[in-house]
Structure formats: structure tokens, C-alpha cells
A and B are shown apart, each in its own frame.
Chain A
């Protein structure tokens, strides 16, 4: 059985020392090992940006796509081979600015993949511009007077878009993050995991210390019930979405693939490509 080591590939990440993304990388590796997966069975699809490089830093089938399109690529992979574990990962700019359209529709569609947003509330690779997760008033190169746009409320948006698995974690809490990723992968449907992953170079506001001060663990809230969507929404509102843990899970709704007509038990990649003569003649007859 594969161990954490088997998911390491000896490639040195080009992230800055102290970057939150290292913990996301480690947590994916730990979760996959703990779930008993083999590197050959994992497809890790990533977007563009610092975080997008993650598919090259895990020993697995990695696909580093185009900016914002991590989710359509990942959904295409899963549709083709349902036996693969598909994890998509990218930054908040990738998923919530240029790729926002795909994020909402992937949530709604509920294909069985896990999407990890590495949320640093800034554009790091392009050297410090505002992101859709930057808070209003946030001063960056592109918002010298402070951002006048409110940040995207991702967790509330996910809930209202019909998400079946919504969780949030913090990159310095590897244990919690690993556990959340495991739960996300096990979830039958689309699992959305937002990870506060501080940018130590360009975000001097939302730092490790800031998160430690401001984040509330859902496990500390008495009687919190992640199957109660109303409670989930209320709790997010009460805490300005600064909570960690499993926020909401719908275990009843079936995943997209379970509902597709004609979709078989065997992966689509193994489907017969040749059409027999009789079937062909039948199709031709429909036009005569």
C-alpha cells in the first residue's frame, strides 16, 4: 500500500519559504495515503498561479491547465474515468475571478471530484494585485487607495448554489486540513474545500497570526450540525465566514454521474468504440 512518501516526487516547489501552499501539498499527500490510494489512481488537476504548480509537486497524474479552467478539465477527466480520484486545486483568483463561472456550475453539477481552493486573498505570482477574496479597503498595487469591492463570500455562495459538500480549513492546521480532504474525497459528489493559505510575501494583513486570532473551529460550536443547511448559513453569517471544519454536507443527493442516463459501471474510457453494422444501418434508416 502506498505511503505518504510514495506521493512525493522530489520536485522542489518554487513557492516562497513559509507559503501556506506547502501544507496543502503535504495534506493532499497524507490524505491520499491515509485513504489507501495509489499514486497511479490519482489525477491532480491544477490552475494557473503559484498554487497552480501543485500538480507538479505531488507524485500523481498531474495536469496543469489554463488560468481558470481547472474545473472543466477535472470534470472532463472524471467523466472519462470514474475510477480515478480527481482532485482539482487552484488559487482564489483562478477559481473565483477568471474561473468563477465554472466554479458555480461545477458546484451545481455535482460531479464527484474534490476542489481545493488555496485562498491567499491576493495575486501572488503577478506580484501583488487585488483578488476577488481581498477584503474591501485592502491596499495592493492594483488598489493603491484600498479595494472598493467587497470580497466574494465563497462559502455562502457555495451553499446557495446547491453545494453538497462545503468545508473550510487553515493551512497551518495540517491535521484538520488532511481530515477535511479525506472527507471531501470520500464524499459522493462535488466537494468544495477552501483553505486559508497565507501569502507571506504580498499579504501582510491576512497573516498566519491574523487567522489564528480570527478563525473559529466549528467543532467548538455546540450542537453544530453540518447536515443542516440553514444552520450552516446562519453560522457563516454570524462569523463572517471565518470558520473552519465541515460546514455542510448533503449525503442524500446523488452525484451527477449516478444520474446520467446510460452511464455504465465501467469507466467510459473502456467503452467500445466500434459501432456494429446493424446499429449503423438502424441509424441510417432514421434518415430515410
Chain B
């Protein structure tokens, strides 16, 4: 029996490939397996090859598997494009309708199952997906009945007959494969799982849940891949909390509308990807200069320009740290797991109000859209902190011409905050340099004081931020330290398991607080490692450069980079380590 399985379904976009994967995954989740799913898709509504790769495991997984055990194909292109990924003795299940062929001389087994024909006999060719699911189940030696719960959940609304027909499609798909395999025991029988059903969600869902639980009550956003799910989730749920979402005319409106709302006392956010973030930069500068809280979620995708809109990349890093003109206080945090996406979204809202500045929550396409099981999200960890905001102050009447000192110079740099509508609290807000009351002032001593006040705010953040680096420090003086951020965590963790089997001592640091950089935390890790490899999805080693700039040790740090749009596989990092980077030595 096997402890994990890699399964992929592929076909033309718009053909129900995604839902085929969803139903297969849901059934596996029902049995208590851990799952990790990743969709390959293109920027079009219909047509073009798409696939959904799902890893099934008896233990938690945060990365795709290197290869493939089962490939379900709805067209020949799926076989042609994905066959290289298949195990030598892997299995292809394909619709007999297109007369599938696999490369000559291959050890793989092909089951040409009449998906479409069986589905038509049952009344609708739409059910070919269910036939494929049933066929997959037979390979795993799974009883077709195991699908019943999920089928009735999915189709129950459409009536018993539809549920019954879909179950029949599954059973017939399974029966066909069983008849072909002539009673041979399955090589791909999975070890039983713990039977516990888990949350199965994409990173964007976790981030959205965090926003909602963290008190976000307004969102302004413009649709973009791979961020739109956040807006859609909030549109669905915010009205239950009195809040709302406005789909704006562009990202500049989205960011500034969120700024207006935050200024007036509502926790407001926007979410986008690279192109949208580029348009928001001036507004982010406004939030920094006016010390207005603002949370912006950047779900990174392939750049530059329109780039690879549906593909994985981590190339916005430098732009998120430095991408506004002038110098502002700004916080950039990067969740490295789906769970952290949830907690960090809550925290981003807190930090924005506590430090009165823009906070960028940096995700990437793989984390945002990768769908995985998680054990739990902890309600008790949700905490709402609003810093120096006073919503009901008892203020003395202002003298004629006097304003409240909204930008009062303080030791921490953080000033008392009121919202418009507060009695006796009038102050001015401007992106022009201003004095303590917010009135424009270009005087040199004032400029210096206000500039220093703003930048002083974040000085202590690296010490206060909970776990600025997600650490796995098994070893003292390791041979190797891996550093990454966001979704590379899973692939790095699995690479480490393999390297450790070869006797290497490997530590791992996934950077979570990107800016201000947690130098004090990271520097000693680099110091004690013999070699440091930074793994990231971009072509110019942006994270490595940030680390070198802050912590030094340039000669110790090398990079494994990927920028072809596909996520790192554990085997890939391992191979590169062996070939190119690691200098072996016993010392």
C-alpha cells in the first residue's frame, strides 16, 4: 500500500476539469486524507489546456509531488503535455472517444474508458467527469459508495434522480476499469487515512476569512487574477456584518477609497496583483504620508507588465518594499502557509491601525490559489487591536483657528488618532508635508521632525512582530540553511527531508516579516550555517539581495531561482542543490 498519491485531470478549459478535481478531492477529504491541489490554467474563459493536479497523502502536505501516478485525460493534448510527468509505470485513464495513445515503448498502463459514451447512455454527456472519477476510484481500489456523500452534497439540490444518475456514472466508470484489470490487485491502493474531514481551501479563502474575523468591514477592489476570490468572498459575507464591497473603476480608486474609509474609522482593505499594485503605488504613498491605516493584499503572479497572469512568480518583492516615491513607513508581511494567511490577515489589520501606515500582505499565486487541507484555524488567536485610535474622546473645545494635533511628535512616532465626526477633534490631512495639526508646512525643521517621526514608528516592529521568520532549526552549525518566502515553504521542507537522508544537516528559515527586515533574527542563522541557499520564484534573486543588504554574508549566499511560471517541485530544488550549489564536505 502507498502513503501518498499524485493524481491529475486535464482537458480543455470550460469542460469541467476543475469540478472533476473538486469532487475527487472532496471524496478523498471525506476519507480523511490530506490534500494539496494546484490548477494549471490560462487567461481565457473557454478552450486551452487546463489541468488540476491533486496530491493525496496520509500526512500534511504543502507542495505538489514531483511526479504523477494517475493521469485522467479528456483529450490527447492532456496526454501529450503531461506524459513526461507520469511515473514510468503510471496509469493513464482517458476517454475512449478520442482514441487515446501513449508514447510507444512506455511502461505506463492506458485505460481507454468510454467516458462520454457511458455518460450519454445515462442521459447527459456532462456526467463524463463522474465516469472518470469512478474509473480513478477503481484504480485506487476504492468502493464507489465512498463518493455518495459528496455526490449527494453536490447534486442534492437538483433532485434524487440527478444524484442517482451521477452515482451510476461513477459505478459504471469503476466497473469498466475493473473489467479491464481482470482482478489484478491494485498497485495504487492507499493506506487508510484517519477519517477526519478537514478544511479544504485556497489561500485566498484563508486570507478572506482572516479579514472578516479581523474586523474588516469595507473593501474596494478591481477584479484581477489571482486576487478576485478575496473580493468575491467579501461580497458574499460582508453584508452579514453591515459591511460592503465596492467594485471600483480601477485600482487607484480601490486604494484611495479604502484610504478614505480607514480615515473615517472603518477597517478597509483592497486586494490585487502586480499590475494593480503598480497603479496603487501613489495611493500607498498617500497612506504612508498621511499616516492612514491601509491593508493591501498582493497576490503575486508572473510579471512584468501583463506577464504570466495565471502563473506562479514572486517578483513583486522589491516593488512592494520600495515601490512608492519618497520614503514612508510601510510594513510588508508574507504568510508561508494557508493557516498563516488567515492569522496574518487579522494581524495586517491590527498593524495598520497600531502603526498607522500601509501594510502589504504579500501572497503569491501558488499560495493564493493552491487548495489544501488544513487541520484547524484557531478562533482564540483572533485579536483586534486598534492602537492609539480614540473613537469617543472627551476633548476640550478647540480655540478659534486651532486644530487637534493628529501628527503630534511622540517618542514612538505614533500619534493619537481620531476620526472625522469627533467633537472638538478637527484636524487636517494632506499628502503635503505638514505640521502636528496636519496643516501644510514646508519649514525645514518641521520637515525633519515629521519625517523622522514617521520613520521612527517601525523601529521596534521586528522585535514585536510574532515569529518574523518561520524557523526549522534542527541543527547547530548546519551544512546548509534554506531561506524562502510565501509558498516555497512546502517544497523546501520536502527537499530538506531528502537531503537529511543523505546525511546533510539542513536548517530552514521562511521569512515572514519582509519589511522592516528582521535582521537581528536572520543574521545569526546565516552566520552559523556553512552555506545559505535562497529559493525564490524570480529571475533577479530579489529576496537574496534584500538579505545581503540587511545581513551581509554575500559570499555565503547563493540562489535557486525559478521564473518559468510553474511552482517549485521538491525534486527540482533537490536536484539543483546536488548539481549546482552544494559544495560537499565533511567538515
Pairing of A with B: yes
List the interface of chain A (C-beta within 8 A of B).
Answer: 9-11, 39-41, 43, 45, 53, 55-56, 59-66, 68-69, 71-81, 83-84, 101-102, 104-105, 109, 260-264, 266-269, 271-275, 277, 279-281, 283-284, 287-288
Q: Give the residue among A59, A63, A80, A271 with the most B Cβ atoms within 10 A.
A: A80
B425 nearest in chain A by CB position: A40
Residue A56 contacts which of B265, B267, B439 (CB distance < 8 angstroms)? B439
Complex CA distance for A140 and B340, rounded to whole angstroms: 56
Structural contact, A79 and B261, CB atoms closer than 8 A: yes
Q: How many residues of B contact A (CB 8 A)?
A: 72
Q: Give the residue among A41, A104, A280, A281 with the most B Cβ atoms within 10 A.
A: A280
A283 nearest in chain B by CB position: B209
A-B residue pairs in contact (CB < 8 Å), sample of 9: A45-B260, A61-B420, A61-B429, A76-B259, A80-B264, A80-B265, A268-B217, A269-B265, A273-B215
Structural contact, B428 and A62, CB atoms closer than 8 A: yes
**B26 nearest CB across to chain A (Å):** 10
If A40-B423, A66-B431 touch, whether A80 touches B401 (CB-CB below 8 Å) is no
Structural contact, A101 and B260, CB atoms closer than 8 A: no
Structural contact, A84 and B420, CB atoms closer than 8 A: yes
Residue B266 contacts which of A39, A71, A268, A280 (CB distance < 8 angstroms)? A268
Complex CA distance for A277 and B424, rounded to whole angstroms: 37
Structural contact, B253 and A105, CB atoms closer than 8 A: yes
Structural contact, B257 and A75, CB atoms closer than 8 A: yes
Task: Kindly state whether residue B430 has any CB partner on chain A within 8 Å.
Answer: yes
Cβ contacts under 8 Å, B265 to chain A: 80-81, 269
**A55 nearest CB across to chain B (Å):** 7
Cβ contacts under 8 Å, A263 to chain B: 239, 242, 244
Cβ contacts under 8 Å, B237 to chain A: 283
Kindly count the residue-residue contacts between A and B in the assembled complex, taking CB atoms under 8 Å apart: 207
**A282 nearest CB across to chain B (Å):** 10
Complex CA distance for A260 and B403, rounded to whole angstroms: 35
List the interface of chain B (C-beta within 8 A of A).
Answer: 197-201, 205, 209, 212-215, 217-218, 220, 237-244, 246, 248-250, 252-254, 256-268, 282-283, 285-286, 290, 377, 379, 382, 384, 391, 400-401, 403, 419-432, 438-440
Structural contact, B430 and A56, CB atoms closer than 8 A: yes
Structural contact, A64 and B260, CB atoms closer than 8 A: no
Residue B379 contacts which of A80, A261, A277 (CB distance < 8 angstroms)? A277
**B265 nearest CB across to chain A (Å):** 4
Cβ contacts under 8 Å, A53 to chain B: 440
Cβ contacts under 8 Å, B260 to chain A: 45, 63, 72-80
Structural contact, B440 and A275, CB atoms closer than 8 A: no
Given A76-B257, A76-B258, A287-B201, output 16 extra A-B contacts at Cβ < 8 Å. Answer: A40-B423, A53-B440, A55-B430, A63-B290, A63-B430, A64-B429, A72-B220, A72-B256, A73-B257, A79-B261, A80-B266, A275-B212, A275-B213, A279-B240, A288-B199, A288-B200
